[in-house]
Structure 1
Amino acid sequence: MTSSLRAREILAIAALAADDKGGEELVALDVSGPLPLADIFLLATGRNERNVMAIAAEIEDKLNETGVKTLRREGRAEGRWILLDFGDLVVHVFHEEDRMYYGLERLWKDCPVLPLELPVREGAE
């Protein structure tokens, strides 16, 4: 099974929003095969708690503006690992230490990685 077109559309919005707020190491995993409740996981890393919260808030704001409702939100108070559930898309915004510790990429290593189209930043090689 593969992720739906709608899930990939909202993924693009979420990835751009995360990138706009300095989200790093963005990875999208197609989890539609093993998970019946979601199509895609988007993983993003923030440098500190404030950055993690800003990334999550921007993603939620941009998706809500386009009519995508937040079904569930977890971890916002701590700013270490924020989970945003939009149905077909589940976003995980991690503090860099927590991302390494929990290693979701390792847990879901059998799931295909989806390409993300992000703008090229000046000074990037």
Structure 2
Amino acid sequence: MLTDLQIAVRAADNKGATAPVALDVAELFGFADAFLIVSGSVERNVQAISDGIEEALNEAGVRTVRREGREGGRWVLLDFGDIMVHVFHEEEREFYQLERLWHDSPVINVSEMLEVAAS
């Protein structure tokens, strides 16, 4: 059975997301267990990635708690309770550098999630 994070990673990859990074924030952030951070190259790509992730998780029975920023297509935040997904336009991701902000959080290996999907 796929975890919510695996579903989100695969959905993002299917929509052309780049540079996926997942962080285990459970110890540092009381509102979620993991952050998934991905990039899109243009606003429409950011929107398509966020729509694909939301659709895949909703189909798996995971309810969207909150969605912010979709209209602008620069930084979309999707809150699914246990995981929060940040879909950035490449420029915004470089500017905000969430990975650096949360550098104390362990990194979750997403490449294994993608390798299993390719098998």
Alpha-carbon distance in 1 for matches of 2:3, 2:30: 19
Partner of 2:28: 34
Matched, 1:118 2:114: yes
TM-score by length of 1: 0.88
Alpha-carbon distance in 1 for matches of 2:29, 2:75: 20
Computed over aligned residues only, the root mean square deviation of the Cα atoms, in angstroms, reads 1.5
Alpha-carbon distance in 2 for matches of 1:107, 1:15: 21
TM-score by length of 2: 0.93
Q: Can you list the C-alpha shifts for 1:29-80, whole angstroms capped at 9, x where unaligned?
A: 0000011110000000000000000000000000000100000000011000
Regions of 4+ moved over 3 Å = none
Alpha-carbon distance in 1 for matches of 2:74, 2:115: 26
Correspondences of 1:13-28 after superposition (within 5 Å): 13-28=7-22
Q: How many residues align?
A: 114
SS in 2 for 1:118: helix
Matched, 1:103 2:97: yes
Alpha-carbon distance in 2 for matches of 1:90, 1:36: 12
- State the one-letter code of the partner of 1:118: L
Partner of 1:73: 67
Alpha-carbon distance in 1 for matches of 2:30, 2:4: 18
Q: How much does 1:119 deviate? A: 4.0
Structure 1 spans left out of the alignment, 5+ residues: 1-7, 121-125
Partner of 2:85: 91
Of Structure 1 and Structure 2, the greater helix share is in 2
Structure 2 spans left out of the alignment, 5+ residues: none
